Structures are given as structure tokens and as C-alpha cells.
Structure 1
């Protein structure tokens, strides 16, 4: 029905840009944030829970349930990104400790409860390693009957960041990403190819930082922590001269406004073998089968709506308009 809010659940490893995504999801009038689940990634899972609760409080989110999830990948040890997100995972901004506690159930239990309990199909938005989602799909496959789509931030068609070919979220838990691709529901991959392009100009970052409203000001501080490109008009200290990348928040923009993302339905698989390609999302863009398929038979590959282009100005405007809402 027109005008209904989209029920969404975010699975995250908060994280500077996960925090930007949460701020947007809370404030966009077309989204109903039903729950947030936490997984180890940018920092340890307890730090992720703390950061998530703090961000939701700063955003004025009310009682959105938050649950602690997996503290390590399915097979390998956890490997954080504190060198990017700071010792606390949130840019070391000195944010206050949250006043509320997480839910008294684990992330997989909360995911199942909120998905099956929603009167309309839910859109899942994982912006983190996919461990929680893989566990959910394996333990409770019945949830897929009430999942509209999974829009995940992860993977890359071209260049990786964790390795030359692998993006961090998929590289952190490749087996979990491979399970996701077998979910049997529509999947959109918001990968590095579009992730890295959506950049908020430095002038707007400075405006947000000067806001008297806590959520908008936090968005500005977070954007300033992750400079994406030099801003020749900037003249201030502490990152004021840099534009800020939206990162994970772009995936939530793509749920609120899918028309800003250009996708193509393509076969995708995750490289699981040890070595330099582990964690790579192999996206098959060929117009016809090659010799490997002709001589060896077709492989079973998931078909995924892969993000190939993005309307940068559209998503920047959408984000700025949304996070300024009280």
C-alpha cells in the first residue's frame, strides 16, 4: 500500500559509517527500524553493542531493540578495523556511555522474532560481516518467507580494500557471505564500487558539526572522521578541510530510494579457497559462457542485483535532508 513505511532491520558492526547508517534509518520517514543486531567486525562485539546503543540514543530512536551477536566469524578469528574506526570503533569521539541495555536475547533470536513478527515482509540491511545472517539462515530458514529483500554492504566488482580483490565485510567471514548468497530471497549487493563514491562536501560536513541538534552534530563529527577527498574551500582543523564518505549509510539510502542505485542482475560467488583471492566476490559480467563452462559444465551461482552506478548528488541530498530531522 502506498505510503507505508518499509520495515527494516540493520545488522551492523558500529563503526563510524554504520553509525551514519543508523542515524539515517532512525530519521527517514519511510523506514521503520524494527531492530538492530550487532556482530564483531570494526571492533569487538561488546564495543559494537555499546556504540550502537549510544548512536540510537543520540538519534532519539526510542526503544529500538538491540541484540548482541557473534563475537567471531564462523571459522576464523575476529580481525578488527580499529586502525580505520579508532580504538573505540567510533572515531574516539568521547561519546557518552549508553543509558540503556541490550535485549535479553541473542541476535539470531531477535532477528527471527522481528522478521516473523512483522505484519509486512522485512528488508534486512547488513552493513557488517555476515556471521549473524548466516547463522539465522541456517538455524531458522523459515524466516525467508517474510524477508522482502536483503541489501548488504559488502563485496566489490573491481578493487577490494581488505586485500587487492576482497572487501572487508566479506573477507572477514567469507563462509558467511557464501551462505547469504543461498538465502533464496532477492539480494542487492551495495559494494565498494558504489560505496566509495558517495561523498558529502566539506561545507556540509562543517554545517552538520555546528548543529545544535545532537544527532545532526554526531553525523558531522562522524563524517569528519572519515575524510574521503580534500576540500579546497576548507580552512579548519581536525578534518574540517575534508569531505566525508557516507559509506554504509549509502546502503540504507538505497532501501529508502532504490531509484538512485543502478544495478544489474549478475551471477556472484565468494572465493573461499586459502590464498590471495579469499573473500573475493567474483561477479560474472560476461555476455556469454566461457571455456570453463563449455568444457566443465555450468557452476551453480547466485543471481544478485549488483550495484554498478550511483546517483551521488541524489543520495547526498537525501542523507542531509534526513539527518537534519529532529
Structure 2
């Protein structure tokens, strides 16, 4: 029986690839897509989710836009990484269907209420929508199987020295989610920076030849350029968000730890930092499964294998 999943995302090149991977995987039944502001403005991330689903011919997936800004802060976007559209690179179709006439939080709540099984929530952007869902619908916590998050880091940040982008955009929301008591899985920079797609991998995906695989290669052509900056020390482009879907499909590819995680919301130098009690110094029980390592080749092989799903379309 496939796993019921909702995806809250801010597409974003790697969000788009996570969505494409999820819909190429029969192990997953994607019940809804909601969008958060982050990689681009809320209008653009919503449009991008609709464009990707239009590319995939999946007009049946309900989509709704979420909160227009973080809970307590002004919005920060990553247009320097993802471009003016949020998905610069390929020629993607215009949206072929309309979003739901409700908010993202309302759509998430509806899916949870109607599901006869607990639903896995995958969040690959700032956690504003998920925090609003948890605080406004506490009776639905029991309908959530787990929350799988792309965000945070045990070690170094990528937006500030201490903070990863998704958590930094809305640290108050992230703290609500991490302290919710629900089962959490954290795909932070410690693992996603190891999930690099190299130039040769991009050519392998392009050679698959179907329109979706070619679009993924063209997304990566653009995405890899930002990551060529010497300061990162990368060989390719880290595919952050697809790690969440890969975890659902093949958790054996990952090395994890069980640790307590909190989010710094007020530090002068550390706002948005995920504070991971690596050495169990606080005595607090673990509240998250923290990904630390990945079999990179198996990850690339999985993506290539699943992109062939679109050959039959």
C-alpha cells in the first residue's frame, strides 16, 4: 500500500525535482501540494508548483498557496540562487489548471481530515504553513504520521554562518514544528551537501530523453552555476529537497542520528540556527531523526531510474 503524502514546498529548482521524484514513485500517493514563500515570492512559488504539475500532466493534484510571509518577520527570498522566476532555466509550460479556492493550511487540514490513514507531511521550504497547521488544528496531530523536513544543519549554515536558509526565513515557525512532539525527520545541510549532482550526472539525466528528464537536466544546468562559486567547495550542485523523498523511498541510503533539536529565534549571530544536541548534553529526549550521510551514487541512480517513469507518457 502506497504512502499518503502531502508536499509543502517553495519551488525552487530542488523543490521541483523533489515533486517530480515523488510523482514518479508508486510507493507514494501525493494527496496535495501547498506552497510557501521562500525561494521566491508566494505568487511565484504557487505558479511554479502549477507549472511543474502541468509539465507532468497531473492536473488531478490539488494545489493551494500558503502564508504570504513568515509568522513574525519580513520575507527573505533566494532569487540569487533560483533566478527571477524561481525556476529559471528550462522552458516550462504555463499553468494548465487553477489552484484550490482555499489557503494552503485549509487544504492540508482537509486532506488530513479526509484521510483514513495517517499522512506523511514533507516540507521543503520555510515551515510557516506547517506551524500554522499545527497550531490551528491541534486535533489533527494524530492524523500526521511524520514530518520530513529539508532544513537546518548540525554544523554550518548556508545563509548565515550559523543558519540554513529555510529555517532562517521563519525560525519561529520552525521552533513550533520541532517542539510539536510529532515524529520528525530532518534532512539538513550535513546530508544535502553530500547529495551533489555532478556535470556528468546531469548529462546522464538529459540522455534519458523524455521531456521531464530533459527539463530536470535544464533545471540543473541553471542551478549548478550558483554552486560553482569557490567559497562552497562543491564539485556539483547539492540537491537538498529531493533527499526528503529519497528518504521515504530508500531510507537505507542514509545514515541518521536520533537527537534533540531546537531552533534559535533570538541570537545576535545565530538566528535561525538549528541547535542539535549532538553529545546529548541537555538531557532532553531526542525529538528528531537527523540525517548525516548519504550514498550519493545510489541517490543519483534512484533519480535516473525514476525519471524513466516518464518515458511512457
> Would the TM-score normalized by the shorter structure come out above 0.5?
yes
Pick the aligned partner of 2:111 from 109, 114, 121: 114
Checking the alignment, whether the CA contact within 8 Å between 2:8 and 2:124 is kept in structure 1 is yes
**Structure 1 residue ranges (4+ consecutive) displaced by more than 6 angstroms after TM superposition:** none
Checking the alignment, whether the CA contact within 8 Å between 1:267 and 1:304 is kept in structure 2 is yes
- The answer to whether residue 3 in structure 2 is matched with residue 6 in structure 1 is yes
**How far apart, in 2, do the equivalents of 1:321 and 1:214 lie?**
15
**How far did residue 34 of structure 1 move?**
0.6
Q: CA offsets, 1:56-114, max 9 Å, x none? A: 11123241000010110001100100000000100253423111110111101100111
TM norm structure 1:
0.88
**How far apart, in 2, do the equivalents of 1:278 and 1:205 lie?**
35
Q: CA offsets, 1:222-254, max 9 Å, x none? A: 122222877xxxxxxxxxxx7443221111111
Count how many residue pairs are aligned between Structure 1 and Structure 2: 303
**How far did residue 202 of structure 1 move?**
2.1
- The answer to whether residue 303 in structure 2 is matched with residue 319 in structure 1 is yes
**How far apart, in 2, do the equivalents of 1:302 and 1:207 lie?**
40
Checking the alignment, whether the CA contact within 8 Å between 1:188 and 1:306 is kept in structure 2 is yes
Pick the aligned partner of 2:62 from 62, 65, 68: 65
**How far apart, in 2, do the equivalents of 1:261 and 1:203 lie?**
23
- The answer to whether residue 178 in structure 2 is matched with residue 181 in structure 1 is yes
Match of 2:246 in 1: 253
Match of 1:169 in 2: 166
5+ residue gaps, structure 2, are 229-234
**How far did residue 120 of structure 1 move?**
1.5
**How far did residue 16 of structure 1 move?**
0.7
Q: CA RMSD in A?
A: 1.8
Match of 1:206 in 2: 203
**How far apart, in 2, do the equivalents of 1:110 and 1:68 lie?**
9
- The answer to whether residue 149 in structure 2 is matched with residue 152 in structure 1 is yes
Moved more, 93-102 or 5-14: 93-102
Match of 1:239 in 2: none
TM norm structure 2:
0.92
Q: CA offsets, 1:189-215, max 9 Å, x none? A: 000000111123323312433554221
Checking the alignment, whether the CA contact within 8 Å between 1:17 and 1:249 is kept in structure 2 is yes
Checking the alignment, whether the CA contact within 8 Å between 1:41 and 1:129 is kept in structure 2 is yes
Match of 2:287 in 1: 303
**How far apart, in 2, do the equivalents of 1:57 and 1:96 lie?**
7
**How far apart, in 1, do the equivalents of 2:203 and 2:236 lie?**
9
**How far apart, in 2, do the equivalents of 1:152 and 1:173 lie?**
13
**How far apart, in 2, do the equivalents of 1:164 and 1:245 lie?**
18
**How far did residue 302 of structure 1 move?**
5.8
